Structure 1
Amino acid sequence: MVAKLKKYDLDGKEVEEVSVDEKLLDVSVNQQLIKDYIVALRKNARQWSANTKGRSEIALSNSKPHPQKGTGRARQGCIKTAQYRKGAIVFGPKPKFDQHVRINKKERRAAIHYLLAQKVTEGNIRLLKLKALKEPKTKSVCKFLDAAGLKSKKVLFLCDQGEKTKRQRVNFYLSMRNIPGARFLPIENISGYDLMRTQEVVVIDTAQEKLLSAMGGKL
């Protein structure tokens, strides 16, 4: 059995089919590995920068706000406490120590391979034959999404990072960046979380070798 990737032009017309060897799709990965990988990605995305001040850090007087006895009021130690305006925060967040979770390279490659193979098997990856764009034009990309049945879906566009296609790549990015649900990434920077949060993947034809390489094969 050989899977087929449909290739479209920017008008949404199918121009050809690209075969993907079944060996690239026959990948078995422990589901716990996928979960651990995604959880690690989300943990590493946190900034851990929230910071609040305690009583020792507040720039206010240490003197008592009023005499402890004789006023009929509750005794108060100082105006740095939380109940006063500009007082300290009780049990507030502090910057954490290094919370980075190390991701094994082989596990990362295996997870991405599995998720890509799953997208191919389910028919959620398409190729786009991108002709030279002289100028950004959002209408062209919208026309493609409509004709390919991708309208109103979360679509991830993947490109290469070659110098020869830089101008073409920039014009295409400027054409699609305002479309709701559409995202644009170099295929070298793709992560498993990017694949899981998107419904459809569109790979620009200049990056299809990189796509098959990410799945452990060659064109």
Structure 2
Amino acid sequence: MEVSVLNINGQDTGKKVTLNDSVFGIEPNEHVLWLSVKAYLAAQRQGTAKSKERSEHAGSTRKLIRQKGGGGARRGDINSPVLVGGGRVFGPKPRDYQQKINKKTNVLARKSALSQAAKNGEIIVVEDFALDAPKTKDFVNIVKNLKVEGQKALVVLPEANKNVYLSARNLPKADVIEARNINTYKVLNADKLVMTESALKAIEELLTK
């Protein structure tokens, strides 16, 4: 599949790039996409929820009533889970929610997401660019010129660029990512993928080695 290369003014440069069929032209595997997205979202969870159990509550440990002769069940200390203010039974504890996903599965998931984006015409290739200073107004102009204003745009760069990142940080529907960090969730979550020529080559090298 051939895609025209635009400049940051939204003009056609006359150049075309051919998307690698082994990365952008496979049949998307929906199950693998689901596994990858599930693992990504699980990894975003902090896992710091914690409740106090019976032994962790501050309170007297004396028995509230005598053990026999009261006509009811035996009552333990005031920290009992059955009493208001007592400990919690089987409450949450700090844990790691990360899920294991095989490398080959992860690669296939990213290829599937990129292929789906290419099939839907969501990929825009632009010439390599850089901003002289972090300025949101300049980034907004680029978004307008590329006709992705109001859409969730994922801008993929070959390497970290602080000025571009800071310029896009205040825009709720724009995200900037390095080619080596591209993941299934962000590709699927974006309405448009804006890739520089160098980022496109980096992605193809990354997913075909």
The TM-score normalised by the length of structure 2 is 0.82
For structure 2, list consecutive stretches of 5 or more residues without a partner in the other structure.
none
Q: 1:132 and 1:43 mapped to 2: Cα distance?
A: 34
Identity of aligned residues (%): 28
In structure 1, what is the equivalent of residue 44 of structure 2? Answer: 45
**Aligned CA-pair RMSD:** 3.1
Counterpart pick for 2:205 among 213, 216, 219: 213
Deviation at residue 3 of structure 1 after TM alignment: 2.6
Deviation at residue 127 of structure 1 after TM alignment: 2.2
Deviation at residue 158 of structure 1 after TM alignment: 1.1
SS of alignment partner, residue 118 of structure 1: helix
How is 1:73-92 mapped onto 2 (pairs within 5 angstroms)? 77-82=76-81, 83-85=83-85, 87-92=86-91
Q: 1:34 and 1:214 mapped to 2: Cα distance?
A: 18
Q: 1:131 and 1:100 mapped to 2: Cα distance?
A: 36
CA shift in 2, pair 1:179/1:153, >3 Å: same
Q: 2:50 and 2:118 mapped to 1: Cα distance?
A: 44
Q: 2:4 and 2:206 mapped to 1: Cα distance?
A: 15
How is 1:139-154 mapped onto 2 (pairs within 5 angstroms)? 139-154=137-152
Residues 60 and 78 in structure 2, CA contact (< 8 A), matched pair in contact too: yes
Are 1:179 and 2:177 matched, yes or no? no
Q: Which amino acid aligns with 1:113?
A: K
In structure 1, what is the equivalent of residue 2 of structure 2? Answer: 3
How many residue pairs end up in the alignment?
207
Deviation at residue 91 of structure 1 after TM alignment: 3.4
Residues 123 and 194 in structure 2, CA contact (< 8 A), matched pair in contact too: yes
Are 1:126 and 2:153 matched, yes or no? no
Residues 54 and 90 in structure 1, CA contact (< 8 A), matched pair in contact too: yes
Residues 134 and 166 in structure 2, CA contact (< 8 A), matched pair in contact too: yes
CA shift in 2, pair 1:158/1:129, >3 Å: same
In structure 2, what is the equivalent of residue 33 of structure 1? Answer: 32
* C-alpha distance after superposition, 1:91-138 (max 9, x if no partner): 321234x65432111121111112112212222111233444221121
In structure 2, what is the equivalent of residue 190 of structure 1? Answer: 182
SS of alignment partner, residue 176 of structure 2: strand
CA shift in 2, pair 1:89/1:184, >3 Å: same
Residues 160 and 210 in structure 1, CA contact (< 8 A), matched pair in contact too: yes
SS of alignment partner, residue 48 of structure 1: coil
Residues 27 and 115 in structure 2, CA contact (< 8 A), matched pair in contact too: no
SS of alignment partner, residue 187 of structure 2: helix
Q: Which amino acid aligns with 2:12?
A: E
Residues 29 and 112 in structure 2, CA contact (< 8 A), matched pair in contact too: no
* C-alpha distance after superposition, 1:24-67 (max 9, x if no partner): 44313532222222223333333333221111221221124577
Q: 2:25 and 2:200 mapped to 1: Cα distance?
A: 19
For structure 1, list consecutive stretches of 5 or more residues without a partner in the other structure.
none
The TM-score normalised by the length of structure 1 is 0.78
Q: 2:28 and 2:118 mapped to 1: Cα distance?
A: 16
* C-alpha distance after superposition, 1:161-217 (max 9, x if no partner): 2xxxx6xx2111111111111111111011111111111111133322113324539
CA shift in 2, pair 1:172/1:199, >3 Å: same
